[in-house]
Amino acid sequence: MDTISTIVLASSLVIIMLGMGLSLVINDFKRIFIYPKAILVGLTNQLIIVPLIGFVLATLFPVQPEIAIGIMILAACPGGATSNLISHLANGDIALSVSLTALSSLITIITIPFIVNFALLYFLEEAQTIKLDPVKTITQILVITVIPVSIGMLIRKYNGDFALKMVKPVRIASAIVLALVIIGIAIKEKDNLVFYFKEAGIIALLLNIITMAIGYYSAKLFRVHHKGAISIGIESGIQNGTLAVSIAVVLLKNTSFAVAPAVYSLLMFFTGGIAVYLGMKSKTLKAN
C-alpha cells in the first residue's frame, strides 16, 4: 500500500478506538472485579483458545503461507468495537463485553508481537522471514489504540452528553472506512481475489464459528450467566479485523497478509447477524 492508504488505515483504527473510549467509563474496568469468573473465562478464550484454534486451522488446511499468517495475526488480535455492538443487539452483557474488549486490547499489546513472530517463523522459509520488533510493535499499537481510547474516556468524563451522541456516528464512520479499506485491498489484489477468497473464506469462516461456539459453551460449562455467555461467545468469535489489517499493512507492509483478515471482516457481519437473531429469539422465548 502507498503512504496515503497507510495513513487512512491507521486513522480508521484511531477513530474506532476513540469511539470505544467514548462509550467507556472507569467503572467499566471495575467490573473486572465484579465478574471475576466471567472475565477469566472470556480472557482464556480470547488470549489462549482463539490463537490455538487459529494455529490448528492454519496448519490443517492446505493454504498459502500468507493466508496462514493472516489467520494467525487475526487470531492474535482482541475483540473490536463491533463485538460490543453485536453483544448489545444480541441481548448479551454489554458491561462484560466492554470490559473484555478493553482488557484484552491492553494485554494483546504484549502478546501480538510474539504470536505474529511465531507465525512468520513457522509458516515462512527462513530466507523469507520478516522480523517483527516487539518493542516497536508495542509502541505503535499503544499509540493507535490506548491513547485514542484514553482520549475518548476523557471526553466522556467531561462532556458525557456529547460523547454519547458521538458514539453511533463514530462507529458508522469507522465501519465505512473499514469497508473502503477492504475495497482498496480487493482492488489491489483483484487478480488473485477469487483465489484468495477460496483460500481464506472457509478457514476464516471456521475460525469465526468455532471460536464463537467454544466461547459460548465454555462459559455455560463454567456456569456463567446466560447474557454473559452470549457476550463471551461474541467476544471470542468477533476479532478486531481492522487491527489485524493494520498490523499486516502498516507494520509488516504486506497486503497479502491482510487478505484473510479482510475476508473475515466481511464474513463476521453475517455470523454476527445470526448471533443477534439467536439472542433476540432467546429473549423472546424467555419472555413467553
pLDDT digits (tens, 9 = 90+) for 7-31: 666 676 677 677 767 777 777 667 6
Tell me, what's the pLDDT at 137? 61
Look at residue 58 and tell me whether its pLDDT is greater than 60.
yes
Highest averaged pLDDT of the listed ranges 27-41, 95-109, 220-234, 247-261: 220-234
State how far Cα 255 lies from the chain centre: 18
First to last CA, the chain: 53
- DSSP character for 35? S
pLDDT digits (tens, 9 = 90+) for 117-175: 888 888 886 534 555 566 766 676 677 667 887 888 888 888 888 887 887 777 677 66
3-state secondary structure (DSSP) of residue 239: strand
Nearest Cα neighbor of 243 from 100, 114, 58, 74 is 74
- What is the residue-averaged pLDDT of the chain? 79
Give how far Cα 233 sits from Cα of 91, 115, 190, 273, Å.
12, 22, 34, 13
Look at residue 288 and tell me whether its pLDDT is greater than 50.
no
Q: Is 283 exposed, middle or buried (0-12, 13-18, 19+ CB in 10 A)?
A: middle
Whole-angstrom distance, CA of residue 233 vs CA of residue 81: 15
pLDDT digits (tens, 9 = 90+) for 218-241: 999 998 888 889 889 999 988 888
Look at residue 216 and tell me whether its pLDDT is greater than 80.
yes
Tell me, what's the pLDDT at 131? 56
Question: What percentage of the chain has pLDDT greater than the value 70?
Answer: 77
pLDDT digits (tens, 9 = 90+) for 243-253: 888 888 877 88
Tell me, what's the pLDDT at 80? 72
The dihedral over CA atoms of 130, 236, 211, 109, expressed in degrees to the nearest 10, equals: 10
Tell me, what's the pLDDT at 244? 87
Tell me, what's the pLDDT at 28? 67
Instruction: Give the pLDDT band (50/70/90) at residue 82.
Output: confident
Half-sphere exposure of 197 (CA within 13 A, CB side): 11
DSSP 56-105: HHHHHS---HHHHHHHHHHHHS-B-HHHHHHHHHTT--HHHHHHHHHHHH
Whole-angstrom distance, CA of residue 104 vs CA of residue 80: 10
Tell me, what's the pLDDT at 128? 47
Ranges of each domain in the chain: 3-282
Tell me, what's the pLDDT at 127? 39
Look at residue 107 and tell me whether its pLDDT is greater than 70.
yes
Whole-angstrom distance, CA of residue 89 vs CA of residue 5: 32
How many residues make up the chain in this entry? 288
Are 219 and 40 in contact by the 8 Å Cβ rule? The answer is no
Tell me, what's the pLDDT at 163? 80
Does the structural domain 3-282 have CATH classification 1.20.1530.20?
yes
3-state secondary structure (DSSP) of residue 238: coil
Nearest Cα neighbor of 116 from 270, 263, 260 is 260
Tell me, what's the pLDDT at 35? 64
The partner residues of 239 in beta bridges, in order of sequence, read: 79
Q: What would the mean pLDDT of 51-79 be, rounded to a whole number?
A: 91
Are 90 and 234 in contact by the 8 Å Cβ rule? The answer is yes
